Amino acid sequence: MLTNTEIAALFQETPAAIRGNQSLREPQQEGWTSAMEFFNGGGQRAIEQNPVGCGKTGLISVLPFGIARGRVLVIAPNLTIRDQIAEAVNVSSSDNFYRRAGVLADMSAGPFRAVLDADANLSDCDDAHIVVTNIHQLAERADRWLPHFSEDYFDLIIVDEGHHNAAPSWQNVFARFPSARVLSLTATPFRADEQPVEGEPIYQYTFRDAMQCGYIKEMTSSNVAPSELYFTYRGDEYQHTLSEVMEMRENDWYSKGVALAPQSNISIVDHSIQWLRHLQEGGLPHQLIAVACSVDHARQIRGLYQERGINTREIHSGQNADEREEVLRELRNGTLDAIVQVQMLGEGFDHPRLSVAAVFRPFRSLSPYIQFVGRAMRVNVQNAPGHADNQGVIVSHVGLNIDRFWDDFKSIDRGDQELIHDWLESDEIVPGGDSDSTGRRRRLAHDMDVTQEIIDRFLADPYLDPADDTLIDNAMNVLREQGLDLESLGLDRSELQRRLGQARHRPVPDTPERIPVQPQAHRQMLRRRLNEQTRSAANRICDALGQRAAGRRIALLGGTGAQNNLAAVIVLMNRAVNTELGIENNERRDQNTQALERAISMLDDIADVVQNELEGKLADASD
């Protein structure tokens, strides 16, 4: 077992090349320096803010040196991030961070690390300088670990994604080790439940600096803006101008209606495809990530992309692990052009070719907005400020009212603490989700139906000001740090400014373009959507009747040949749809576009009839 004295000796006496190490990024060196000054000056709990893509895992790797006087605990929010950190500090690996960055010349004495997983035990921790875990393993299995560690077992606790640290599960950990010093690292320096983040802010590396230095993509927000929007709401017809849309979007029912409206979804899809194709002109196969309100909504969006020739799949927690892994594999190997997610691919997901973030849901708070757009921020070309392949774009619709979060996002760098209270969300409810706490069957169609919108402009806003001279200064510094002699290459400040200006002023999508859709592809999409929405309606009928999908009470009513409730209701729904269309079972594939559209529009009414009939039969069966 390693003693605290032995552990302290390693972290305090081992020569670690950190300050002045050209292989370390600015936020890694500065973050370590700030932490060392704070803790060695008697500080106990601190917060550092580092945007995604700025080397947070590397910073975690070097933080113990010169600071820790005993064992170090690193807590990640999920398994993905835990495994990334564990690999970075694995001195047995030839690709560990210490070796890659030239931090340690001799690792024969460690630091050794233990990973808390199903196969770990206490002796593994006793023999380690660093213990890496995810919060679920440590706190939610409290009897497995926490009671067996003494109060002074850890001297330094490093929390990744530290905006979670005020949650009860994290607080239980801190309470167990009252003397331990705590450093929380986060890209979003605020909590989601109006509790303060634990610690004193000691360092901030801004998104602006990260973009200027080429650590993350230069981001632009671009929203489709209808000059006219026509819709019905509970049977009444309305027409709104752009200024009226901007006013009405403050109402949740309105932004939700726009989010779920196929016409508005088409506008976002077309504009995001314009941006995707624009970015791909340089030869790199950039990809697109979209966020939807619900599983059914994700399928609708997937269908719109697919009928426009964009190979797309959805990913959500309702899929089994093998299916989700298959989707991610196809994304990473380039088979997919786009992916539509529902509350997935959060913290720790790393895929730089995702450069277009399409938002189809009205976020209610800033934190999940930043978490989502962060998926499109990782650079494709390292240390290359202004590179054409390090551009990212967030596409949405003005009716969703998310541009306010873009403005707030930019305000983080200004340190405007007065805004933070407004960013905190006590309830981040996903509009149009797949469940309804009222017990009523949630309908497939929303009360608001956008029938037409005329898109004649985009409202675009780059994060960085192109006229900011510090862009050139940072670019020159990065190039010099890479050992380039700018003068010998004929690159003085004015010439570099000219070249970057040419790159930045490459024409970007500024005129709305409707992506043509083959009639056959549209019909095929509608047929698939009819089958999917029929299944969705059947699921909701089971829920409304209080019957488990895998149960058998509805199936035992007979007449369907089904083995469980969901399958029985699907059979009944399909029969009712076919009756409405006047077709036989095997004639669905022969239906034209108009028939399929009519069937989809009537699904809620058809589901009402099926549900009412089943309610009566179930009541009779109970007598």
The rounded Cα 502 to chain-centroid distance in angstroms is 32
Residues 108, 88 share a domain: yes
Query: How would you classify the pairing of strands 287-291 and 354-359?
Result: parallel
Residues 343, 223 share a domain = yes
Phi, psi (deg, nearest 5) at residue 298: -60, -40
Question: Could you count the other beta carbons within 10 Å of the beta carbon of residue 346?
Answer: 17
How big is the CA angle at 584 (ends 583 and 588), to the nearest 5 degrees?
A: 70
Q: Are residues 476 and 598 in the same domain?
A: no
Assess whether pLDDT exceeds 80 at residue 537.
yes
Give the dihedral of Cα atoms 251, 254, 260, 266; nearest 10 deg: -120
Question: Does the residue 426 lie in any domain?
Answer: no
Mean pLDDT of 142-160: 90
Which residue type does 7 have? I
Q: What is the DSSP string of 382-417?
A: TT-TT-GGGEEEEEEEGGG--HHHHHHHHHHTTT-G
Q: In whole angstroms, what is the distance from residue 579 CA to residue 601 CA?
A: 15
pLDDT of residue 487: 65
The larger pLDDT score, comparing residue 347 to residue 288, is at: 288
Task: Residue 159: name the closest of 199, 113, 125, 207 by CA.
Answer: 199
Residue after which a domain boundary falls, among 146, 170, 205: 205
- CA dihedral in degrees (375, 377, 380, 381; nearest 10)? -160
CA distances from 7 to 69, 220, 369 (A): 7, 47, 41
The DSSP call for residue 443 is P
43 CB-contact burial (10 Å; exposed 0-12 / middle 13-18 / buried 19+): middle
The answer as to whether 514 is a domain residue is no
Residue 139's pLDDT is 73
Residue 174 tokens, joined: 């801190």
Q: Let me know whether 270 and 388 are in one domain.
A: yes
Region 122-130 average pLDDT: 96
- 443 domain residue, yes or no: no
Q: In 3-state terms, what secondary structure has residue 281?
A: coil
- State which of 177, 205, 233 marks the end of a domain: 205
> Mean per-residue pLDDT for 443-461?
86
Q: Is 429 within a domain?
A: no
Look at the block and give the residue holding tokens 């829920």.
543
Residue 597 CB contacts under 8 Å (≥ 6 apart), including other chains: 526
Q: Which of 205, 240, 266 is the last residue of a domain?
A: 205
Ranking 20-34, 203-217, 235-249, 405-419 by mean pLDDT, the lowest is 405-419
- CATH code of the domain containing 98: 3.40.50.300
Residues contacting residue 601 through CB under 8 Å, at least 6 positions apart:
445
Q: What is the pLDDT of residue 424?
A: 36
Q: Report, as an integer, the average pLDDT of 216-230.
A: 93
CB atoms closer than 10 angstroms to residue 617: 14
Residue closest to 169 by CA, chosen among 137, 140, 145: 140
Separation between Cα atoms, residue 291 and residue 374, nearest integer Å: 12
In this structure, the answer to whether residues 315 and 379 fall within a common structural domain is yes
Say yes or no to pLDDT of 469 above 70: no
Res 290 pLDDT > 60: yes
pLDDT of 206 > 70? The answer is yes
Residues 62 and 88 in one domain: yes
**Above 70 in pLDDT, residue 544?**
yes
Question: What's residue 369's pLDDT?
Answer: 87
Question: Residue 178 pLDDT > 90, yes or no?
Answer: yes
What are the tens digits of pLDDT across the range 291-319?
999 999 999 999 999 999 999 999 998 89
**Residue 537 near residue 525, CB atoms below 8 Å:** no
Residue 570 has pLDDT above 90, yes or no: yes
Give the pLDDT of residue 586.
84
Q: Which of the four pLDDT bands, split at 50, 70 and 90, describes residue 603?
A: very high
> Among 36-40, 411-415, 585-589, which is the least confidently predicted range?
411-415
Q: Is the pLDDT of residue 399 over 70?
A: yes
Angle between helices 470-481 and 493-504 (to 10 degrees): 110
Mean pLDDT of the region 88-101: 96
Report the pLDDT value the prediction gives residue 116, as an integer from 0 to 100. 94
Task: Tally the residues of the chain.
Answer: 623
**pLDDT reported for residue 197:** 59
Return the pLDDT at 163. 52
Lowest mean pLDDT among 83-87, 90-94, 251-255, 593-597: 251-255
Residue owning tokens 């196809």: 330
Give the pLDDT band of residue 526 (cuts 50, 70, 90).
very high
* pLDDT at residue 435 greater than cutoff 50: no
pLDDT value of residue 366: 81
Look at residue 578 in the predicted model and tell me its pLDDT.
Answer: 95
Rounded to 5 degrees, φ, ψ at 89 are -100, 15
Q: Looking at residue 190, what is its pLDDT?
A: 54
Domain that holds residue 247: 214-420+448-462
Domain count, the chain: 4
**Same domain, yes or no: 383 and 288:** yes
Task: Evaluate whether 513 touches 274 at the Cβ level (below 8 Å).
Answer: yes
CA-based R_g, the chain, Å: 27
Are 59 and 68 in contact by the 8 Å Cβ rule? The answer is: no
In a shared domain, residues 408 and 292? yes
CA distance 267 to 278: 17
Q: What is the pTM of this model?
A: 0.83
Q: Is residue 369 part of a domain?
A: yes
Choice among 55-59, 195-199, 520-524, 565-569 with the minimum mean pLDDT = 195-199
- Residues 423 and 366: beta-carbon distance below 8 Å: yes
Summarize the confidence of residues 535-557 as an average pLDDT. 94
Q: Are residues 132 and 240 in the same domain?
A: no
- Does an H or E element contain 450, and which? strand 448-462
Q: Examine the pLDDT at 194 and tell me if it is beyond 70.
A: no
Specify the residue for token string 């999940």.
368
Q: For the residues 2-19, what does the mean pLDDT come to?
A: 95
Residue linked to tokens 């790393």: 350
What pLDDT does residue 19 have? 95
Residue 291's identity, in one-letter code, is: V
Question: What pLDDT is attached to residue 429?
Answer: 45
Which pLDDT does position 212 carry in this prediction? Answer: 86
**Same structural domain, 218 and 263:** yes
DSSP result, 159-208? EESGGGTTSHHHHHHHHHSTT-EEEEEESS-S-SSSPPPSSEEEEE--HH
Rounded mean pLDDT of the chain? 86
Q: Are residues 480 and 539 in the same domain?
A: no
**What is the per-residue pLDDT for 426?**
33
Assigned domain for 75 exists: yes
- Write out the DSSP string of 513-565: -PPP--HHHHHHHHHHHHHHHHHHHHHHHHHHTT--TT--TTGGG-SS--SSH
pLDDT at 38: 97
- Both tokens of 283, joined, read 């030869």
Both structure tokens of 610: 């099926």
Is 142 in contact with 107 (CB distance < 8 Å)?
no
Q: Is residue 501 part of a domain?
A: yes
Do 35 and 168 fall into the same domain? yes
Taking the CB of residue 244, how many other CB atoms lie within 10 A of it? 13
Q: What is the pLDDT of residue 152?
A: 94
Mean pLDDT, residues 347-371: 86
Domain assignment present for residue 431? The answer is no
